[in-house]
């Protein structure tokens, strides 16, 4: 077990020096998963034999003197929305329950080339829509700090498996906070890179102008290690940025001289849990003690972030998810039942006009397939997006939201004139009890208040542990930086982690094992 408390950076160096085999390490994580997965349910799929096979292959390659790559035999968990050739990729949806992609996402190809052992597929909200994992069609992941509470979402499994020491590194995706929010609620470090920093090729799409893949791990150093593998230009994703990838792992330990920290006052004024506010204010003192200058800044349009996001994201989703048509791949409704249903409706029709209004068999096939294949939250967002884009409402909702999006970007530009990084809370409160937002979708949406801005503006953001509530639940600190300043963000986060030990805290069941 003590092996599982080591950082990914330490483990890579043990593997490189031949003091540890990938097979032994992978087995240790698989045993940890086996022991605690019954409670945590972080994974949708773990293939023990396949993982050990990959590890043994890597060990053989190392024994033969080959370069194993920067991850050199380290297990990595991936969110179940990254297409992996021949491996079921469900997106936690009935729609894709049996979908086996015929190709690898660029991120998966990069992980393989870097010597990662793909240890398992993590649970999420269906199609990455949600903040609690409760929208998964298959299971609800529990928060390792308190299994009565949500792990956050949508990358809830990705964060929970790191907190439960089931994997040292984990890959998630973030459309409105889906890496940073679960990282905060599970007490781990998670980074949403700049839009375009990591290729989205092979990522099952939710909202294409907002989606971004990123790393989760225990520490900023470990996040730097994984980001360096994931980041880079990809000709297969025309929105990926063609800029060199810095050596994050080389620079992460260098403190930033004269760092200017902007405390986002708008994010402290909203209804914030007092424990969260106290932890964030304490983090400000930590940065001051490290020599940073802290100044208050304002993002005046951030209060409109949720309204803007919940027009744009569902609009893009309604368009992206139109591809699930029961014809090309994924679920399809039973056809004989469909024909029988239509025949009965034709027989019951009172007039030719009424009969003419009935769905054609093809349209009914689409409608039944999608209604049976999608869960409630996905349907809600498709409906919302379709409504916002429909004739007569497009200008009032979608176009209006795009204009406010520009104002939000301009707020950030102005704030970054005064500050190198922006600081605030990740979430309004620590992890909520399971079921808290069951009949209140808008209430759930409002918890994304502090994170959606970074997606709308395309900038980088990181969540790192900065305290605990009185009930002992983790609290996350949110740092944001301008586009392509991941290096600055990681260095600022590492500075904090040299002065605090919140990132070393583990849930009792992990801390007590040895």
**Region 177-236 residues binding other proteins, contact defined as CB under 8 A:** 194-196, 209, 235
Cα within 13 Å of Cα(254), Cβ side:
10
By the rule CB under 8 A, 317 interacts with other proteins: no
* Shortest spacing between CB 238 and other proteins, in angstroms: 4
Query: Where do the DSSP E strands lie in 281-336?
Result: 293-297
Asked if 351 is an active-site residue, the reply is: no
Asked if 178 is an active-site residue, the reply is: yes
* Shortest spacing between CB 302 and other proteins, in angstroms: 12
Nearer to other proteins, 60 or 406 (CB): 406
Asked if 79 is an active-site residue, the reply is: yes
Please identify, among the stretches 54-62, 286-294, 376-384, 424-432, the one whose residues bind other proteins according to the rule CB under 8 A: 376-384
Q: Among 62, 301, 488, 506, which residue sits at the site for other proteins (rule: CB under 8 A)?
A: 301
Taking Cα atoms as reference points, which of 22, 228, 30 lies closest to residue 11? 22
The answer to whether residues 145 and 475 touch, using CB atoms and an 8 Å cutoff, is no
Distance (Å, whole) CA 20 – CA 374? 44
* Shortest spacing between CB 232 and other proteins, in angstroms: 16
By the rule CB under 8 A, 158 interacts with other proteins: no
**Annotated active-site residue in 22, 178, 199, 240:** 178
Distance (Å, whole) CA 131 – CA 481? 23
Distance (Å, whole) CA 502 – CA 45? 30
Which pairing describes strands 212-217 and 189-192: parallel, antiparallel, or unpaired? Answer: antiparallel
* Shortest spacing between CB 501 and other proteins, in angstroms: 35
Rounded to 5°, the CA angle 90-229-184 comes to: 65
Cα within 13 Å of Cα(220), Cβ side:
33
Nearer to other proteins, 328 or 470 (CB): 328
Binding to other proteins in span 434-493, by CB under 8 A: 441-442, 445, 455-459, 483
Which pairing describes strands 212-217 and 169-174: parallel, antiparallel, or unpaired? Answer: antiparallel
Binding to other proteins in span 409-428, by CB under 8 A: 409
Which pairing describes strands 474-481 and 421-425: parallel, antiparallel, or unpaired? Answer: antiparallel
Binding to other proteins in span 89-148, by CB under 8 A: 99-103
Distance (Å, whole) CA 419 – CA 197? 22
SS (H, E, C) 435-458: CCCCCCHHHHHHCCCCCHHHHHHC
By the rule CB under 8 A, 1 interacts with other proteins: no
Nearer to other proteins, 20 or 179 (CB): 179
Binding to other proteins in span 71-100, by CB under 8 A: 99-100
By the rule CB under 8 A, 307 interacts with other proteins: yes
By the rule CB under 8 A, 344 interacts with other proteins: no
By the rule CB under 8 A, 394 interacts with other proteins: no
Residues designated as active site: 79, 154, 178
């Amino acid at each position: 077990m003590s092996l599982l408390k080591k950082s990914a950076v330490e483990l890579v160096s043990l593997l490189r020096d031949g003091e540890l085999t990938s097979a032994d390490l992978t087995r240790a994580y698989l045993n940890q998963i086996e022991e605690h997965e019954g409670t945590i349910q972080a994974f949708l799929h773990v293939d023990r034999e396949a993982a050990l096979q990959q590890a043994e292959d890597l060990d053989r390659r190392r024994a033969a003197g080959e370069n194993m790559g920067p991850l050199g035999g380290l297990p990595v968990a991936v969110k179940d929305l990254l297409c992996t050739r021949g491996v079921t990729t469900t997106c936690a949806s009935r729609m894709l329950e049996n979908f086996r992609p015929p190709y690898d996402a660029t991120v998966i190809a990069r992980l393989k080339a870097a010597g990662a052992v793909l240890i398992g597929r993590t649970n999420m909200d269906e199609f990455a829509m949600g903040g609690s994992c409760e929208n998964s069609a298959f299971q609800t992941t529990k928060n390792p700090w308190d299994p009565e509470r949500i792990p956050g979402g949508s990358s809830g499994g990705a964060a929970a498996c790191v907190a439960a020491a089931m994997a040292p590194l984990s890959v998630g995706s973030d459309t409105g906070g889906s890496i940073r929010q679960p990282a905060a609620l599970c007490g781990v470090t998670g980074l949403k890179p700049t839009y375009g920093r990591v290729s989205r090729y092979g990522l099952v799409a939710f909202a294409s102008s907002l989606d971004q893949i990123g790393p989760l791990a225990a520490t900023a150093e470990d996040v730097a290690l994984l980001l360096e593998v994931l980041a880079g230009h990809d000709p297969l994703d025309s929105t990926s940025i063609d800029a060199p990838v810095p050596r994050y792992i080389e620079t992460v330990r260098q403190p930033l001289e004269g760092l200017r920290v902007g405390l986002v006052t708008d994010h402290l004024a909203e209804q914030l849990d007092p424990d969260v506010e106290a932890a964030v204010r304490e983090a400000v003192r930590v940065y001051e003690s490290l020599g940073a200058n802290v100044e208050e800044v304002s993002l005046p349009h951030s209060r409109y972030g949720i309204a803007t996001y919940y027009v744009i994201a569902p609009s893009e989703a309604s368009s992206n998810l139109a591809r699930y048509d029961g014809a090309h791949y994924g679920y399809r409704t039973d056809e004989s039942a469909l024909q029988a249903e239509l025949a009965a409706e034709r027989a019951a029709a009172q007039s030719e006009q009424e009969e003419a209004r009935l769905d054609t068999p093809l349209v009914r096939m689409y409608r039944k397939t999608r209604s049976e294949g999608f869960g409630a939250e996905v349907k809600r967002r498709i409906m919302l997006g379709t409504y916002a884009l429909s004739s007569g409402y497009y200008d009032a909702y979608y176009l209006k939201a795009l204009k406010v999006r520009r104002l939000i970007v301009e707020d950030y530009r102005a704030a970054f004139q005064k500050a190198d990084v922006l600081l605030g809370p990740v979430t309004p409160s620590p992890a909520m009890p399971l079921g808290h937002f069951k009949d209140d979708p808008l209430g759930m949406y409002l918890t994304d208040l502090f994170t959606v801005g970074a997606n709308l503006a395309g900038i980088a953001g990181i969540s790192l542990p900065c305290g605990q509530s009185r009930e002992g639940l983790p609290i996350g600190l949110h740092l944001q930086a301008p586009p392509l300043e991941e290096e600055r963000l990681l260095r600022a986060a590492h500075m904090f982690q040299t002065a605090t030990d919140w990132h070393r805290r583990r849930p009792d069941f992990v801390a007590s094992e040895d």
